[in-house]
Amino acid sequence: MDLSPLLKPQSIAIVGISNDFSTIGGRLFKSLVDHGYRGKIFPVNSKYQEVGGIKCYPNLSEIDSEVDSILVAVQGKEVARVIEESGKKKIKSAIIYSTGLTEPSKTGKPTREEILSLAKQYNLSVCGPNSIGIVDFHNSIAMFSFFNLPQLIPGNIAFVSQGGSLGEAIINRAQDKGLGISYFISTGNEAVLELSDYIEYLLYDSNTSVVIALIEGTQDGEKLLRVADLALEKKKPIIVMKIGRTAVGRKAVNSHTGFTAGSDAVYEAIFRQKGFVRVFEPNELYDTASVFAKITLPKGDRIGIITTTSGGGIILLDNLADMGMAIPEITHKTERELSKIIADFNLVKNPLYLPTQHSNNFLLFPKALEIFAHDEDLDAVIIAISMISGEQSKEIAEHIIRTAESLEKPMLTWCYGGDLSAPGMQMLEKSSVPIFTSSSQCAKALASSLRYARFLESYINEKGQTVSILQSDRHRIEAILRSPGRILTEDVGKEILSAYRIPTTSEKLSRNLDEAQEIALEIGYPVALKIISPQIAHKTEAGGLRLSIGNEEELSLAYKQVLDSAKRYNPEAEFKGVLVQEMVRPGKEVIIGIIQDPQFGPIIMFGLGGIFVEVLKDFSLRHAPLKERDAWAMIQEIKGYPVLKGIRGGSSYDLVAIVRVLMAISQLAMDLKNSIYSIDINPLVVYPGDQGVKVLDCLIVKKNSG
């Protein structure tokens, strides 16, 4: 979608303009003029003959030139009329600053659908309503409804925000820190264009190499997933802050914007799976963006520290350890070179401690910095320094910047104190060296860049895998899904799983006691009995389950018990029969499932059985389809992973077999996403070593009754 007329218009009409620059219409005009907009401006308001010395038109139809975009600053009830008028004039785009269009009116009739319909009818790209504007920093096009954007510092970071005032505060702080921006886009309430549309355009933009996004929710989860894949192909990171993580937060988002904030667990899974870099605070958003925008991605986790305070070095050590980073020994070559210029040999190590008298020594400091930073066993370097005042701070900054430019690895600076307004501090902020006033933020941002680099490498090198099924099985599954009822009984559900080569227990359905006894002899004692009824999803609650039946006498008694209990539990239930199933040997129980998320579609769930999922909420999620790395990540990120891996000398369980099941379930989820609402495999028994897995029970729920 070409959004150029919207994002970089050559001509703009301001509908609802005012000579009062405290109003939105007046602020829009002033913002464009003050920041040097070079295109044509057409003021539109029947109250005025001119605004700011420029002819004012009573309506759009009176303008005798082409118009790329209109800025709509009229009352909400007038917006539809203006959009229709612009469509008839063949204007290409619009930004709606007016509010109240997505929230229901007093009559209960929302107008969002009307705006969307008009936009489709006239092929209009529409931003908003309730947008605070769009700014193209490289072309000085500030279609901004706020006054306080004093400067436009162009750069390679684009910011797409679903938050209005919060987005404005973040962009101002980023500019205060000297961070260069390509675009700022306030999406508003997204009646037509949504966040993913803007990000997609920016991924093709030559001035943008990093995208940051403040997200409240998404209307089209599948579009966001496609855009995420495109970002990985383009090698342009998306740094995201998702608000509305808690139940109360989601409720506030839903009521405020009309977005569906969605489950944070699902969003977190999507972010991990698709390589988004997630942050949780506004300052993290621009601090992390500064690292991605300024440095080359690190090739490894070996970090070198140069510090003018031993305590600061220790703080950084702790921060980096929390992030899983390593602090290696420096090479013998680096030791020898540093020892020639540093008298105290005890200081020659990593972290490299340069007391204040050394950092102020303008012969020693640059040489020590250069030698240490070029150590071949270091993948990145962090400098912890207290910024001195005056002109001397410039010399320190120059040494840091010059050394960083000579490296093929990242260099970051943590300024832990001193004169934060010193000229050297300002030089660093404008340089290619990311600078932080928080050690933890510095470590987090560097760790994020490493995780992204590793993710990108695995994404590029990995090919997708599919699980094929026989045509006869496909026809059988289609017949099952066309059958009446919404819940598939265990025996039928396992037929579907078996078609995808997921190992299940040996079993057969019996319709009377004689059949049950024959099946038990065929399978071999001990066996289990399970009541099979579409109306009884949970057999244990109904008393419809008996385990470890060892002979015919026990079988006869158990058969009667499960039938009687089930009938008492639900006298109206339809009973298909009693499933006779092998008793499998003990193993470790895990749970695998599919849920249909309203925004993103099929989501795969994995966790350990028992209290791990039910009480501790220890599970992982990913969107289907999975790649093999996704399946491994799901297993490894749960807190109970050490139990599967083997602890205290215990045997590890068959993780490869779990991966195979996850991949098969992923394929099933994609093949049947229009038919299956949920699948619950509980439990899947996993055996030690390479002894495989078996499905003991499953529950499949269709989307609709047949």
Angle 332-339/364-373 helices, nearest 10 degrees?
Answer: 170
pLDDT at residue 300, rounded to an integer:
96
Find which of 100-114, 124-138, 255-269 is predicted with most confidence, using mean pLDDT: 124-138
HSE toward the beta carbon, residue 654, CA cutoff 13 A: 18
The number of angstroms, rounded, from the C-alpha of 592 to the middle of its chain's C-alpha atoms is 22
Backbone angles phi, psi at 588, to 5 degrees: -95, 130
pLDDT bin (cut points 50, 70, 90) of residue 106 is: low
C-alpha–C-alpha distance, residues 237 and 221, integer Å: 18
Query: Region 607-620: what's the mean pLDDT?
Result: 80
Q: What is the pLDDT of residues 416-449, one digit of tens each?
A: 988 888 899 989 998 999 999 999 999 999 999 9
Residue 698 has pLDDT above 50, yes or no: yes
Q: Contact at 8 Å (CB) between 499 and 469? A: yes
Residue 654 identity: D
Q: Report the percent of the chain where pLDDT is more than 90.
A: 77
153-294 CATH, one of 3.40.50.150, 3.40.1080.10, 3.60.40.10, 3.40.50.261: 3.40.50.261
Q: Contact at 8 Å (CB) between 25 and 18? A: yes
pLDDT at residue 272, rounded to an integer:
95
Write down the domain spans for the chain.
Answer: 1-130, 153-294, 296-461, 506-582, 588-702
Query: Region 393-400: what's the mean pLDDT?
Result: 91
C-alpha–C-alpha distance, residues 251 and 244, integer Å: 8
Query: Region 313-331: what's the mean pLDDT?
Result: 96
Choose between 594 and 259: higher pLDDT: 594
Contacts of 457-466 spanning 24+ positions with Cβ under 8 A = 458/629, 459/232, 459/275, 462/627, 462/628, 462/629, 464/625, 464/627, 465/627, 465/628, 465/663, 466/667
Q: What is the pLDDT of residues 129-174, one digit of tens each?
A: 999 999 999 999 999 997 667 789 999 999 999 988 899 899 988 9
DSSP string, 323-356: TT-B-PPPPHHHHHHHHTT-S-GGG-SSSEE--H
Under CATH, which architecture does the 1-130 domain have?
3-Layer(aba) Sandwich (3.40)
pLDDT at residue 613, rounded to an integer:
75
Residue 83 has pLDDT above 70, yes or no: yes
pTM: 0.90
Quickly count helices (H) and strands (E) in the chain. Answer: 25, 30
Pairing relation of β-strands 698-702 and 676-686? Answer: antiparallel
pLDDT bin (cut points 50, 70, 90) of residue 233 is: very high
pLDDT at residue 463, rounded to an integer:
64
Distances (CA, A) of 480 to 30, 601, 664, 667: 66, 22, 19, 18
Pairing relation of β-strands 69-72 and 54-55? Answer: unpaired
Intrachain domains 153-294 and 588-702 with the same fold: no
> How does the average pLDDT of the chain come out, rounded?
91
Angle 282-294/439-461 helices, nearest 10 degrees?
Answer: 60
Residue 40 has pLDDT above 50, yes or no: yes
Mention the CATH class of domain 506-582.
Answer: alpha beta
pLDDT at residue 524, rounded to an integer:
96
Q: What is the pLDDT of residues 401-419, one digit of tens each?
A: 999 999 999 999 999 988 8
For the ranges 106-110, 111-115, 431-435, 672-676, the lowest mean pLDDT is seen at: 106-110
Distances (CA, A) of 673 to 169, 459, 481, 588, 658: 42, 24, 12, 29, 21
Choose between 649 and 14: higher pLDDT: 14
Closest to 293 measured CA to CA, from 130, 177, 162, 406 = 177
Query: What are the residues whose beta carbons fall under 8 Å from the beta carbon of 412, sequence distance 6 or more?
Result: 291, 295, 380, 381, 382, 383, 433, 434, 435, 436, 442, 445, 446
pLDDT bin (cut points 50, 70, 90) of residue 468 is: confident
pLDDT bin (cut points 50, 70, 90) of residue 362 is: low
Query: Region 444-466: what's the mean pLDDT?
Result: 87
pLDDT bin (cut points 50, 70, 90) of residue 102 is: low
What CATH code would you report for 296-461? 3.40.50.261
Q: What is the pLDDT of residues 542-565, one digit of tens each?
A: 999 999 999 999 999 999 999 999
Q: What is the pLDDT of residues 263-306, one digit of tens each?
A: 899 999 999 999 999 999 999 999 999 999 999 999 999 999 99
Query: Region 96-120: what's the mean pLDDT?
Result: 73
Name the residue with tokens 């929230």: 103
Query: Region 593-620: what's the mean pLDDT?
Result: 87
SS3 702: strand
Under CATH, which architecture does the 588-702 domain have?
2-Layer Sandwich (3.30)
C-alpha–C-alpha distance, residues 59 and 84, integer Å: 12
Q: Report which DSSP code applies to 688.
A: B
pLDDT at residue 516, rounded to an integer:
96
Residue 358 has pLDDT above 80, yes or no: no
Tokens for 62, please give them: 């009176």
C-alpha–C-alpha distance, residues 633 and 638, integer Å: 9
C-alpha–C-alpha distance, residues 681 and 685, integer Å: 10
> Euclidean distance between the first and final Cα of the chain, in Å?
39
pLDDT at residue 262, rounded to an integer:
62
Choose between 391 and 162: higher pLDDT: 162
Give the Cα-Cα-Cα angle 154, 441, 153 (nearest 5 degrees).
10
Residue 693 has pLDDT above 80, yes or no: yes
C-alpha–C-alpha distance, residues 249 and 234, integer Å: 33
